Amino acid sequence: MTQSGDGVRWFTDLVRLEIVLWDRVDARLKADHDLPLPHFETLHMLARDPDASLRIGDLAGRLGISAGGTSKLADRVVASGLVRRDPDPDDRRASRVALTPKGRSILAAASKTYEDEVDRLLGTALDEADRLQMHALVVRLLAAVTENKD
Q: In this structure, is residue 49 part of a structural domain?
A: yes
Q: How far apart are CA 25 and CA 41, in angstroms?
A: 12
CATH code, domain carrying 84:
1.10.10.10
Q: In this structure, is residue 35 part of a structural domain?
A: yes
Q: In this structure, is residue 137 part of a structural domain?
A: yes
The pLDDT assigned to 53 comes to 87
Q: In this structure, is residue 134 part of a structural domain?
A: yes
Q: In this structure, is residue 80 part of a structural domain?
A: yes
- pTM score, whole prediction: 0.85
CA angle (144, 48, 17) in 5-degree steps: 50
Report phi then psi at 64, rounded to 5: 75, 30
The pLDDT assigned to 146 comes to 80
Q: In this structure, is residue 82 part of a structural domain?
A: yes
**For 136-150, what is each residue's pLDDT tens digit?**
999 998 888 887 665
Q: Report the number of distinct structural domains present in the chain.
A: 1
Amino acid at 99: L
The pLDDT assigned to 10 comes to 87
Low-confidence ranges of the chain (pLDDT < 70): 1-5, 50-51, 148-150
Q: How far apart are CA 83 and CA 46, in angstroms?
A: 9
Q: In this structure, is residue 1 part of a structural domain?
A: no
Q: What is the DSSP string of 11-64?
A: HHHHHHHHHHHHHHHHHHHHHHHS--HHHHHHHHHHHTSTT--EEHHHHHHHHT
Q: In this structure, is residue 125 part of a structural domain?
A: yes
Provide the residue range defining the domain that includes 15. 6-147
